Amino acid sequence: MEISGRKVAVVGMGGVFPNCSNIEEFERKIFDNQSLIRSWDKIQQFGKNVRSTVAGYITEEEMNLSPVYASHLINYPETYIDHLNRIPTANLATADLGSIWAMLAAQDAIKMSGWNTTETQSELTGVLVGTGGSGSGEILRSAWNNFFELGKKSRALGTHNVDRAMVYRDTANISCLIKNRGICESIGSACATGLGNIGYAYRLIKFGLQDRVVAGGTEGTSIESFLGFDAMYVLSKDFKPEESSRPFDMHRNGFVCSFGAGVVCLEAYDIAKARGANILGVIDSYFNNGDGDGDMFYPSFNGQQRLWQGLLSNTNIKPDVVKVHGTSTPAGDAIELFSIVDQLGDKGYHISAPKSQFGHMLGAAGAVEFIASILMLQRQEVLPCLNSDTLNPELENFQKKDDWTGPKEPVLAYRDLLPQQCLKKEINHIACLNYGFGGTNSSILISKA
């Protein structure tokens, strides 16, 4: 049962972002209407074997890391060197690239929160950080290539393959780094993972099971992830890098595969207030559900309708901004837009699509976009739907079907909701949406402190 009146505050955040050295550069670039997407040289070397060649990628060098390759194996990164000495050697040995990013993001978030060692190592401090799952691909690919193709002995692969590839590796590494004694888990829900972990953390505090939680999502740079989506024909192609991610634009043809990490520190509002914390925002509500239609990939208008109803069921709040999932997929964007209009009408708010600037970070997407939403609250600015240049003036095919119950106007009718550049306005409340394969949907409502 919820503790009556218990609110949850956001007191810290940190991350690893494409083409940025820190969160300050990330903030400056995205509010300057810039794109963080680039041509990816590692993919271009495969020529016509790959359809898409752009990504929001991050190199080890950009994060001041160097892989240490095993001398007796081929292309196997045995561990990493942190040239800035941010993470102890023992913790680097158990981590893949995404877990290292998660630890760096957690360190920054904890520093911003002002928590001391007593607080981080408390039984009332939890860790909940997840991933989309494929970021360990480089380590596993190299390990099994050495075993199956090159005939190396299993013991030659070292003792850390399991811990560097297990589903819960990101939380495990953060927990071992900060030595918390509270709940230590990872929620996996495909592209809703980042927001799902934050939402679960909110519930743990709201229900009095924890006083503070480190929460978020991460996705290490992985060619395996990229190739899997490219094989599905769902990645953007044939645009300039900075124009490749184009939510709601009628010429969109897929999403941009990206990588990164986002971690936030949540705390019971009364505790944060009592210690004089800088409260960045407040979480008012979290709701998640499943589509229930048996379709692994196609978005569900009904599922999103029910998501909205659950999010707003116990509040009179109407958001000033809706931070959408907005991947640039042909069906997904239109259905998401119509589900918003069906719930909120066509006036009085704006829609922000951060993926238009940095692509789709998979398991990290919801957490990094949550951070972008907190920044929108702080700056009182709406991030744009970049590249939404031409909106469809005709009805979508699914709108023409007899069983369609949503809005009857085309996407173009809602041009005013979709700013193409950063927009200054009063923002008190933001709704954040993220969806994933298998029909999983997550939503969270945040407000100014």
Q: How far apart are CA 364 and CA 403, in angstroms?
A: 35
- CA 255 from centroid of its chain's CA atoms: 14
Q: How far apart are CA 157 and CA 73, in angstroms?
A: 8
Active site residue 191: yes
Active site residue 325: yes
Contact 77, 145 (CB under 8 A): no
Residues in the chain: 449
- CA 91 from centroid of its chain's CA atoms: 24
Active site residue 360: yes
Q: How far apart are CA 370 and CA 356, in angstroms?
A: 15
SS3 48: helix
Catalytic residue among 191, 265, 385, 432: 191
DSSP secondary structure string, 405-420? -S--S-GGGGGGGS-S
Q: What is the DSSP letter of 63?
A: G
Other residues' Cβ atoms within 10 Å of the Cβ of residue 38: 18
Amino acid at 288: N
**Which residues touch 78 (CB under 8 Å, ≥6 apart)?**
68, 69, 70, 158
Tokens for 233?
């024909």
Catalytic residue among 325, 350, 385, 432: 325
Whole-Å CA distances, 422 to 144, 350, 353: 47, 11, 11
Catalytic residue among 20, 257, 265, 360: 360
Of 284, 246, 265, 257, give the one whose Cα is nearest residue 367: 265
Q: Strands 212-219 and 125-131: what pairing?
A: parallel
Q: How far apart are CA 83 and CA 95, in angstroms?
A: 16
DSSP secondary structure string, 124-139? TEEEEEEE-S-TTHHH
What residue spans of 11-64 are helical by DSSP H? 23-30, 41-44
Which amino acids are annotated catalytic? 191, 325, 360
